A and B are shown apart, each in its own frame.
Chain A
Amino acid sequence: MKSSELRDIERQLGATAPPGLAALSADALKQLGDALHDARKAQRRQMAAATESSLQHVPFLLRGAVKKVLGIK
């Protein structure tokens, strides 16, 4: 039966975990899960900041259309 740590990794990956991960301790699996979480979080943070600041460089006349495509109100 899969441990809760392994299930968390699979949930984050959106895929089955490599079979070799079964060799890891619960503590190591927890650290891996945290590392995956941190990587996703860092990417999301960058994306949010970038989307907002991008608009500053868009010519005023195009800003509305770009906002619409980006899904920003």
Chain B
Amino acid sequence: MSALQHRAELERLARVLGTGRDRLAYLEALDPATLKQLRERSTAMLYDADRDSLQRIASAARLLPSAIIALIAEKSLGPLLCARIAGLMAVDTAVDVAKRLPTPFLADVCVELDPRRAKAVIDGIPVARVVEVSLELARRREYMTMGRFVDILGIDALAAVIARLPDNAALLKISFYAEDRARLNRVIEKLPAARFGGIIDAALKNDGVLWPEALALIGELEPRWRRRFGEIVLTRDAAGIARIIAVSDAQSLWPALMPLADAVEDEHAVACLHAALREQKPALLKRMLAAADTHGSRMLERLATREWPAALRALLTTARAK
């Protein structure tokens, strides 16, 4: 996960500094925790640097009707300053102004906003509006922005967005950028059953380009959700499981796949995995067992009780003896 976290943190920092990730190549050597600290301190610097001026603008807004403030916000202040000021305004006024702004402009503001600094305003925006803005952000592929809002929006608002956002690959990318990983468990509770398999399908498309993200996400979830995803993955037809094995092997993802397999309870899923692995070459099984050897595997113990061709049985016996 750390490579993914590293990429996400570098992208978040680049956004705060108003530059591109490629312009921060000199920070590649930093660990994700340092990048996060740097981003948080940079954000505080930008919010605090012109705080007096920002507060004066927020105070001046009290003298004007919301319709005029909305006009000024859109025509003069622009999204960056609106994002900085949102948390300084009276909440009722800020919500009223937000309701009057066009959806594309609100989406621009969201891109610049640190949602934690304007939570009270965000909570006051009607869910229907949240959905509109979210769909606009998804249309722009602003998954990083949407990921930051996963930490802040109410669960019901998130469920409403998910219901209107059919793109499972987008959901995966958004979750990749969510900082509050534990909260994803609560979001997943609201996920309709069909979306679980859809997320796996989306992750495996295009030679499994999102498969590392999917495995990293599932690996961080509570055991009940790991089990659910694991059983969906391993009860596919033989060709489907063979493909998952091939994609995981090609990307050296056995250590990330193991927790998923280990969470499975369904004996049918164990049988399906066993049937697919029996058809694999010893070299592939060896790579899988190497990951199991490092991380330990409950699934390996269960697989070992089943019938295997002699060459594969020998490998299993050696691995378990270690």
Interface residue range, chain A: 35 or more
Of B49-57, B136-144, B197-205, B213-221, the one with at least 4 CB within 8 A of chain A: B49-57
Query: Could you say which residues of chain A place their CB within 8 Å of the CB of B251?
Result: none
Q: Which of A15, A46, A65 contacts B81 (CB 8 A)?
A: A46
- Complex CA gap A46/B80 in Å reads 8
Q: Mark B6-46, 1 if CB is under 8 A from A, else 0.
A: 00000000001111000110110111011001100110111
Q: Mark A1-43, 1 if CB is under 8 A from B, else 0.
A: 0000000000011110111110111011001100110111011
- Complex CA gap A31/B16 in Å reads 16
CB distance from B66 to the nearest CB of A (A): 13
The answer to whether B53 touches A35, judged by C-beta atoms less than 8 angstroms apart, is: no
Query: Could you say which residues of chain A place their CB within 8 Å of the CB of B252?
Result: none
CB distance from B59 to the nearest CB of A (A): 5
How many pairs of residues, A versus B, come closer than 8 Å at their CB atoms? 113
The answer to whether A18 touches B41, judged by C-beta atoms less than 8 angstroms apart, is: yes
Query: Could you say which residues of chain A place their CB within 8 Å of the CB of B56?
Result: 69-71
CB distance from B85 to the nearest CB of A (A): 10
The answer to whether B18 touches A38, judged by C-beta atoms less than 8 angstroms apart, is: yes
Q: A40-B46, A58-B68, A66-B63 are in contact. Are A47 and B53 (CB under 8 A)?
A: yes
- Complex CA gap A49/B44 in Å reads 22
The answer to whether A18 touches B80, judged by C-beta atoms less than 8 angstroms apart, is: no
The answer to whether A27 touches B26, judged by C-beta atoms less than 8 angstroms apart, is: yes
B60 within 8 A of A: yes
The answer to whether A70 touches B60, judged by C-beta atoms less than 8 angstroms apart, is: yes
Further 6 A-B residue pairs, CB within 8 A, beyond A24-B27, A35-B24: A18-B34, A18-B38, A18-B41, A47-B53, A50-B81, A62-B64
Provide a sorted-by-A list of 22 A–B residue pairs whose CB atoms are within 8 angstroms: A13-B44, A13-B45, A18-B34, A21-B38, A24-B29, A24-B30, A25-B26, A28-B26, A28-B27, A32-B38, A35-B19, A36-B17, A39-B42, A46-B81, A51-B53, A58-B72, A62-B63, A65-B63, A69-B59, A70-B56, A70-B60, A71-B56
